Amino acid sequence: MRLKKKKQATEEFCELMVVMPRLASEAKDLRTDRFHSFHESDARLNEANGLLEKASSMLELDNHSGAMELIEKAEALVPGHPKVLQLKLHSESTLLTMLESRLGNLEVAPFVKLPDEEILWLNLDDRTRFVLGKVDGQVSLDRLLSLLGMSRLELARILNQLLEEGVIAVSEQNPCSLK
């Protein structure tokens, strides 16, 4: 009986001698991975802080579009960071107000100025084409901003782009009733 226990203890000891170096190696790898992830996290935070400083400078100069690009890059690096969210909210709000004021009276229905043949040759992305397809001279800017299922800011940007490029027009003489 004693010999059997001794043999079993020897076998267990041998197994431990085989397993221990592997466990030690795995523990070392884990420590190294944590070390690198902390440094990567610090590097991302530092890069995001640099982007946010530049964005803040742009906001002071009322360059909200440029600031938004930097804020979105910072958000990709550190999602959910309070300073990113604060600057993003402030910039989006101001930018939306500016874009909507450029559009003018939101109760007016925009209409397409260009013939279909010319629109085919424009370099428009899918979202812009989708919005343009909804512009019919009957639906007000406000209804478009409410109904199309994209962010109000994105839609205001697209409508401003189409207006600036002369693809659509807005006429104060064509106010439409809300349906």
Task: Write the DSSP string, 60-82.
Answer: HTT-HHHHHHHHHHHHHHSTT-H
Q: What confidence score (pLDDT) does residue 135 get?
A: 93
Last residue of a domain, one of 53, 80, 98: 98
Query: For the chain, what is the domain count?
Result: 2
How many Å apart are CA 36 and CA 38, to the nearest integer? 5
93 in the same domain as 73: yes
For the stretch 156-177, pLDDT in tens is 999 999 999 999 998 765 545 4
Last residue of a domain, one of 54, 75, 98: 98
- Give the residue-averaged pLDDT of 141-157: 88
Sign, CA dihedral 55-57-60-64, equals negative
Which residues have C-beta within 8 Å of that of residue 73, sequence separation ≥ 6?
51
Percent of the chain with pLDDT over 90: 38
127 in the same domain as 71: no
- Higher-pLDDT residue of 23, 75: 75
40 in the same domain as 26: yes
Average pLDDT, the chain: 81
Residues shown for the chain:
179
51 in the same domain as 21: yes
Q: Which amino acid is at 49?
A: N
Angle at 78 between CA 44 and CA 39, to 5 degrees: 30
Within 83-155, strands assigned E span 108-112
For the stretch 94-109, pLDDT in tens is 999 999 999 889 899 9
- For residue 145, the enclosing domain spans 104-175
131 in the same domain as 89: no
- Any idea which residue has 């059997």 for tokens? 4
7 in the same domain as 92: yes
- Give the residue-averaged pLDDT of 135-159: 90
Last residue of a domain, one of 38, 64, 98: 98
9 in the same domain as 89: yes
For the stretch 2-57, pLDDT in tens is 556 656 656 665 565 555 566 556 655 555 544 444 445 788 888 999 999 999 99
93 in the same domain as 111: no
In this prediction, residue 131 has a pLDDT band, given cuts at 50, 70 and 90, of very high
85 in the same domain as 31: yes
113 in the same domain as 35: no
Do 108 and 176 contact (CB within 8 A), yes or no?
yes
Q: Is the pTM of this model over 0.75?
A: no
91 in the same domain as 116: no
